[in-house]
Chains A and B, each alone.
Chain A
Amino acid sequence: MGGMRFEGSDNYVATRDLTLAVNAAVTLQRPLLIKGEPGTGKTMLAEEVAAALGLPLFQWHIKSTTKAQQGLYEYDAVSRLRDSQLGDPKVEDIAHYIVKGVLWQAFECETPCVVLIDEIDKADIEFPNDLLRELDRMEFHVYETRQMVRARHRPLVFITSNNEKELPDAFLRRCFFHYIKFPDRETMGKIVDVHFPDLKKDLLREALEVFFELREVPGLKKKPSTSELLDWLKLLLAEDIPPEALRAKDQKAAIPPLHGALLKNEQDVHLFERLIFMARQNR
């Protein structure tokens, strides 16, 4: 995997520092931890890197109840109990009741592969610690069948976090880290271009104007992010809204059409409408 390099893709605009962090992780075969505002493309990164490098992707989405063990394997004791009561001959071999987890599947993969551990901070605080050795050595022991599972090729591991919990230092020391900061206007233009290549120039300009202005509105509980902008543009295109309709400056503070796609919080919508109302009165 040493010779591989990621340079962004047709569907994903990667800034220079992001590609550098990815390449460092690829070259040194260390996990890459990605943080950033929600909706800035953390999860998409793994998919795009896998696609760009032509590697299979194994995804492991973490929930608050996910245990580290589930990524390795699970022993389905209940099925075995049931089979034993039904007199099924399968019951003799415990291996029939070992269910492989995402990491096991990735370790078994014939080619190098990409593993995404999505939203690791959702899990219990001990979760990352329980995976330390497995991610470091890329091997683990199956207690039930007394077998050792080793990765044929060290997979490229992407880990995303929303910062809901602090990750243990020992875990962090083993990763590269990149924080996806919110794209500036220029990068955002590129991102939109990649998603909607046919978008009219003036519509894009007006839309970005509205979008960045909206992000500047003080007191919003959740600022609209990249994914919300893309959804909104999709709606604008579907409804065939002309660019002039977005030009708030002409009509002085009109409510942008379909703003529900950008503001997802009732209080934010109220706040926004109130501000617009006040702006109109001051006209």
Chain B
Amino acid sequence: MLVDFFLHLKDRKLPVSTKEFLTLLEALQRGVIGHSLDDFYVLARAALVKDEAHFDKFDRAFAEYFKGIESLPGMDKAIPEEWLRQSMKRHLTPEEQAKLEKLGWDKLMEEFEKRLAEQKGRHAGGSKWIGTGGTSPFGHGGTHPEGIRVGGKSENRSAVKVWEKREFRNLDDQVELGTRNIKVALRRLRHFARTGAAEELDLEGTIAGTAKNAGWLDLHLRPERHNAVKVLLFLDIGGSMDDHVRVCEELFSACGSEFKHLEHYYFHNCVYESVWKDNRRRHTERIPTQEVLHRYGADYKLVFVGDASMSPYEILYPGGSVEHWNEEPGAEWLTRMTTTFPRAIWLNPEPEHVWQYRQSTGLIRNLMGNRMYPLTIDGLTRGIRELGK
């Protein structure tokens, strides 16, 4: 019966599977919910959607599907759309609205079913039948204070449904980026290794050792597993990056608690022959980039964070830097770094769709071999996957 609904969800790119759909049908059959569309919405969501990041998408798809052909499951009566079309609208004064008697919910449902059975043709206006623009509690666009809205857009907001509130809007993984989310994304970069003090019992080793020892117990210990990933973080600071301070701070603090081996350096717009570690002393304590290249091994993963918005000169020409005279172009340094640290990505806090309008963004992206990702959870995840390859 609900096959169209299922296909509609699939069509809206929700990751739903047949098994989950069958579970939903089974739950309906076993009478988990009564005859209410609200309950059906909750049940369908619990059975079909397994990630709160998809809740918003589900809400939209649900609203789309149940708009127009809205029918309460179990009631077996679809309301013809044409008949509900908004053709007429009466504006009532507040006094008139106050006069409308308030029916309780159960009574309302009861009446609704009764009238569904009675009703024949299309109805608009009036105060008893289901239709549009009336003062009957049923139909939509009406002004009864406790009305059940059937299809169409809510105008008086008194019967607004959960799925149209779209409460989970900001859980979509394209947008929100809190420290916690970043940590979760970074965790994918974990690479476990056993180094350090041996304090965990190595069972296989012990058994093998004991067997070799002709039955005398020979205990073997091994070091515990821990995250051995090493990260070099290069942050663009100042100028156009001021708009993105918050998100960069979040990324930075998340990195700090997630990686044992994390080194960070700052640069402005593009990397040149020197970088710095402390912004307050950026002019006095600079570290030659060459030294950074030598100090860390190729097993370090390189992460740039910057909006890559600058004049193309700053990348391509000697002396192009806005702050000082650089002997070699930024592109040269960037290439040097990505050659030394082959596992490298560039995270860009600017939204992905505006990249194409900036020449410098395209240049950096090319220099990085297309490994530029937006600084969203989704982008971070893609970037981390690239680093993990």
Contact = CB atoms under 8 A, between A and B. Distances in A.
Given A27-B27, A173-B20, A221 B184 contact: no
B42 A20 contact: yes
A2 B168 CA distance: 32
Contacts of A27: 27, 30-32
A181 B167 contact: yes
Nearest to A22: B46
A94 B167 CA distance: 56
A24 B27 contact: yes
B17 A24 contact: no
A221 B253 contact: yes
A203 interface: no
Interface in B183-227: 183-184, 187, 201, 203, 206-207, 210, 215-217
Nearest to B225: A65
B74 to A, nearest CB: 15
B43 A24 contact: yes
Contacts of B20: 173
Interface in A188-233: 219, 221-222
Interface stretch (B48-56, B153-161, B319-327): B48-56
B46 A16 contact: no
B217 A23 contact: no
A177 interface: yes
A164 interface: yes
B184 A163 contact: yes
A28 interface: yes
Interface stretch (A76-84, A112-120, A143-151, A243-251): A76-84
A173 B19 contact: yes
Contacts of A123: none
B26 interface: yes
Given A20-B32, A21-B42, A179-B52, A28 B27 contact: yes
Nearest to A38: B180
Contacts of B26: 28
Nearest to B211: A81
Given A163-B184, A181-B167, A221-B179, A23 B216 contact: no
B184 A77 contact: no
B39 interface: yes
Most buried by B among A23, A77, A81, A165: A81
Interface residues of B, number: 39
Contacts of A82: 217
A282 interface: no
Contacts of B51: 172, 177
Interface in A9-43: 16-17, 20-21, 23-24, 27-28, 30, 33, 35
A77 B43 CA distance: 47
A281 interface: no
Contacts of A181: 167-168
Given A27-B30, A165-B187, A20 B46 contact: yes
A274 to B, nearest CB: 15
Nearest to B24: A24
A222 B33 CA distance: 37
B47 A24 contact: yes
Contacts of B210: 81
B379 to A, nearest CB: 16
A240 interface: no
Interface string B159-173: 000000001100000
A17 B42 contact: yes
Contacts of A24: 27, 32, 43, 46-47
B46 A177 contact: yes
A81 B218 CA distance: 10
A169 interface: yes
A176 interface: yes
A78 B42 contact: no
A55 B32 CA distance: 20
A117 B229 CA distance: 29
Given A85-B216, A173-B17, A173-B19, A21 B46 contact: yes
For the complex of A and B, the 9 pairs showing the least CB-CB separation, nearest first, are A172-B50, A179-B52, A17-B42, A21-B46, A177-B50, A176-B46, A24-B32, A20-B42, A173-B19
Interface of B: 15, 17, 19-20, 23, 26-27, 30-33, 39, 42-43, 45-47, 49-52, 55, 167-168, 179-180, 183-184, 187, 201, 203, 206-207, 210, 215-217, 246, 253
14 contacts: A17-B45, A20-B32, A21-B43, A21-B46, A24-B46, A24-B47, A28-B30, A77-B206, A78-B206, A85-B217, A165-B184, A173-B50, A177-B49, A179-B52
